[in-house]
Amino acid sequence: MDRRTKESLWNRFLRGSGFSRADETQSSYEPVAPTDEGTVRMRLIFHGRVQGVGFRFMAVTLARPRGLTGWVKNEFDGNVTMEVQGPGESINALVEELHRQRFIRIQRVDRERISVDTHETTFRETQ
């Protein structure tokens, strides 16, 4: 198979997945958590193409090594809700890394600071 055929097949795959080259440039990243304090807990609602693209799996995979706790779940309206707690810089690093994922396209993040849950021990997917 020559190079042009491979590129053509790849482009058809990307179009079928809803991904386009124009999507590769992310909107400017805005921090979601305060960075000048210790542990914070944030409720984040992600809008965009965030379901069916491995968002929850990646969130868990990226949050646990950072020592973050909380949960992530799909909503019926197509958004993803996350409650995450830990240092503000770690939360911001998690969201920034989610922005960089290949098929995830975050258009907007609604954020709300909520009270810390001192009994939580891990980050998980929930229903």
Domain boundaries, the chain: 39-127
CATH 3.30.565.10 fits 39-127, yes or no: no
Closest by CA to 22, choosing from 9, 11, 30, 31, is 11
- 11: number of Cβ within 10 Å: 13
Residue 60 confidence class, pLDDT cut points 50, 70, 90: very high
CB–CB of 42/85 below 8 Å? yes
Q: Is 56 a catalytic residue?
A: yes
- Selecting among 15, 21, 49, 56, the annotated active-site residue is 56
Residue 20 confidence class, pLDDT cut points 50, 70, 90: very low
Beta bridge partners of 43: 83, 112
- Selecting among 43, 66, 74, 111, the annotated active-site residue is 74
Render pLDDT for 41-55 as a digit per residue (tens, 0 to 9). Answer: 999 999 999 999 999
3-state secondary structure the chain: CCHHHHHHHHHHHHHHCCCCHHHHCCCCCCCCCCCCCCEEEEEEEEEEECCCCCHHHHHHHHHHHHCCEEEEEECCCCCEEEEEEEEHHHHHHHHHHHHHCCCCEEEEEEEEEECCCCCCCCEEECC
Residue 4 confidence class, pLDDT cut points 50, 70, 90: low
Tell me what the mean pLDDT of segment 65-77 comes to: 97
Render pLDDT for 22-45 as a digit per residue (tens, 0 to 9). Answer: 444 344 456 777 767 789 999 999
| Percent of the chain clearing pLDDT 90 (strictly above) | 68
CB–CB of 113/42 below 8 Å? yes
The answer on pLDDT for 116 being more than 80 is yes
Beta bridge partners of 113: 42
The answer on pLDDT for 113 being more than 70 is yes
